[in-house]
Structure 1
Amino acid sequence: MARSLNEWLWQHEFWLPPGITWEDMQESEDVQYPQPRDLLLSIPFALILIVIRCAFERAIALPLSSKLGVRDKQRPKAQPNPVLETFYSTCCKNPEEVSPFFLCFPLDLTLVSTAAWWLMNGILMCFVLFVCSWRFTFYFISFFTGLAVLYDKPWLWDHRECWTGYPQQPLQPSLFWYYLLELSFYWSLVFTLPFDVKRKDFKEQIVHHAATIFLISFSYCANYIRIGTLVMVIHDASDCFLEPTKIFNYMKWKKTCDSLFMIFTAVFLISRLVIFPYTVLYNTYYYSMEIFQPFFGYYFMNALLIILQLLHVFWSCLIIHMVYKFILQGTMEKDMRSDTEESDKDEEREKIKEKEKNGMAYFSNVTSNSYIQRNGSEPLNNRTHLTNGHVKER
């Protein structure tokens, strides 16, 4: 059964244009084509990226945030945890340098419970800042890596070159490693998604990661690598400005944050709503038809690209709304994409506590001051009490 399923899945009608079979994609000593088995390397590379991320957070992000004076806001008290409390009091001299990724394994605890206890006790500081600084570092490296890889490629300047000789387009080593880097990173985001700070657009984020992984994987197997590299470099362009905007927002550097936010808005709207539709969508929808007739891979590829574009429109609406608020208020609101559900709940709890506090103060004023009058009579504190407990009217 597994063999028949494998044969059905890899039918050339699904992956290749009409008239092309897998026999036409045979490799030689001088010519290398993408092989689906190459994608398996992305899993161990994703785990390596997670380890690098943990090391980055501890060696770079933590000291940097401490020097900049960034601190997490006060959080509600966590439930008592004897295991973590014992470890904290006996083994951990520098609790801020302990990552829950490493702590949960020797203590036989789940990563979620460990990170939650660490965060709610205020011991693990600036967790959100760590995530943003790591993503900024990767997007910065990835974007300029993509530019370096594509700078001398003809399809960067002439988009019709994406389809010249398709699908028999040899795989260059630089393109292979660029693809592997991007795919491994998105796998690492998926692996750590349950443990990272939860954003408001959590569901859209899952859809985005799934569509991106499917898009990268399918484009590699079907040798849509040229168009795939354009998609990746366009996406990384705006993300290079998004993450530092969040960082400066958490640091309370308002002017720097507002300036970067306006730059990010311009880059995002231009790259996602102008460049992406013309360079990618129009390219795959029309230019590809000059070379071959539609087939399953053509429809599947365009469907994934349209899903990405719908997400671009969704996020663009949020960003435009933020720009509108920015123009009215003169300062940037909290990032709608980076707001966490946890922070929202914290704010709700603070509002409830404030209301309760105000309510208790009001009740105290009413009972102690006796300011409220009934039927126009004078205040109780101006009325004389008799020995029998009655009030003497003046």
Structure 2
Amino acid sequence: MGVSEGFWHHEFWLPPGATWEDLKESADIHYPQPQDLLLCIPGALLLIFVRCLFERTVALPLGRGLGVRDKRRPKVQTNATLEGFYVLLGRTPKEEDLISLAKQSDLPIKEVQTWFRHRRAQDQPRLSKKFCEASWRFTFYFTSFFSGLALLYNKPWFWDHTTCWLKFPQQPLPPALGWFYLLELSFYCSLVATLPFDVKRKDFKEQIIHHITTITLISVSYCANMIRFGMIVMLVHDASDYILELAKMLHYLKWQRVCEVVFMAFAVVFIISRLVVFPLIVYYYFVTKLPLFPVSCLINAFLVVLQLLHIFWSYLIIQMIFTVILRGEKRQDARSDTEESDRSEAEDPAKNQE
């Protein structure tokens, strides 16, 4: 048996007793085909193009019209020695490095410190960029959630989860659900592709884990024809995402009161959907109603990874509610999209005075 045949062996992908012959297509019946996943490559490229177009023609003018303004940043004098250290060795030199750089540049230590502060400020993401990114994600998540809801509203298995696995895996794939599934996969592939260019958030590593886990779950569940279950999982996740992006947009607009109300709504929806609905309904029915086979065990493991991320983010959300909103402390969102260097900037009294 070749490597390809071994990888696609029905005992790995399908429940006991089922074979690929059960999923053969006909003129009237369509099942998911693994080669369909290749469409996510042009799909991701298309979404990246649409995103760039949307940010330039819609989000940026909208932000400016609503009052989003980028702060003027101090100019940095060209200095090859300091720039080389900044790029290769770090943005925040230690005291001994400052002394060495001051001697090499023939500058006072205070001027070297100021240069690095200004240089870090140049690399911080602009407010308009943050607003545009949040606007794009809000638009996609909002459209995705309510489109998915419209697609599933009249499906009996959406309301009665006990029928989700009825006649599995011989569950024909409606074209609309198939395209929706591939669109979601394309979107998360586009997010991974643009991560190096997007505003770097403090939970950057967790975001990478989340995106890779999501892409794996969507791809594997598509090949194994777990479309019904996958649609429910995606809908549960999309329920809160667009509210978070709306709260960010309001934050960048400095509409603080409205932002806090929206963020509280996000926190309630996130905790209910991720810590109650997901584990008690979605995950429970997946574990108890489906026989164990290799792919189901794999999906089960990745769902656990998602749940651990849900717990981690719920902790940050609750922490923010108590420290910022309820106590009124001036503290950055633990999930905010700020560069790591922002923390040192915020803690520097000299920078604050400037």
Q: Does 1:302 align with 2:300?
A: yes
* CA shift for structure 1 position 355: 8.0
String of CA shifts for 1:94-148, please: whole Å, max 9, x gaps. Answer: xxxxxxxxxxxxxxxxxxxxxxx9x938996610111000000000100011001
CA contact (8 A) 1:200 1:340 kept: yes
- Classify the secondary structure of the residue corresponding to 1:194: helix
Out of 258, 265, 268, the position equivalent to 1:266 is 268
Q: Does 1:349 align with 2:345?
A: yes
CA contact (8 A) 2:345 2:351 kept: no
Q: Quick one: distance in 2 between partners of 1:309 and 1:77?
A: 45
Matches of residues 1-394 of structure 1 in structure 2 within 5 Å? 4-75=2-73, 77=75, 120=122, 126-288=128-290, 293-326=291-324, 328-330=326-328, 333-341=331-339, 344-349=340-345, 351-352=347-348, 354=350
Q: Quick one: distance in 1 between partners of 2:157 and 2:6?
A: 33
> Given the superposition, is the C-alpha separation of residues 350 and 274 from structure 1 closer, same or farther in structure 2, using an over 3 Å criterion?
closer
* CA shift for structure 1 position 350: 5.3
* CA shift for structure 1 position 74: 4.5
Q: Quick one: distance in 2 between partners of 1:331 and 1:188?
A: 36
* CA shift for structure 1 position 153: 0.7
* CA shift for structure 1 position 326: 3.5
Larger Rg: 1
* CA shift for structure 1 position 159: 0.4
Q: Quick one: distance in 2 between partners of 1:69 and 1:161?
A: 50
- Classify the secondary structure of the residue corresponding to 1:126: helix
Structure 1 counterpart of 2:223, one-letter code: C
Structure 2 counterpart of 1:204, one-letter code: E
Structure 2 counterpart of 1:183, one-letter code: L
- Classify the secondary structure of the residue corresponding to 1:203: helix
CA contact (8 A) 2:63 2:128 kept: yes
Unaligned residue ranges in structure 2 (runs of 5+): 80-118
Q: Quick one: distance in 2 between partners of 1:346 and 1:180?
A: 37
Q: Which structure exhibits the higher relative contact order, with contacts defined as CA atoms closer than 8 Å and separated by 6 or more residues?
A: 2
The runs of at least 4 aligned residues of structure 1 exceeding 6 Å deviation read 121-124, 355-358
Q: Quick one: distance in 1 between partners of 2:258 and 2:143?
A: 22
* CA shift for structure 1 position 19: 1.2
Q: Quick one: distance in 1 between partners of 2:176 and 2:250?
A: 34
* CA shift for structure 1 position 20: 1.0
RMSD: 2.5
- Classify the secondary structure of the residue corresponding to 1:171: coil
Q: Percent identity?
A: 57
> Given the superposition, is the C-alpha separation of residues 327 and 130 from structure 1 closer, same or farther in structure 2, using an over 3 Å criterion?
closer
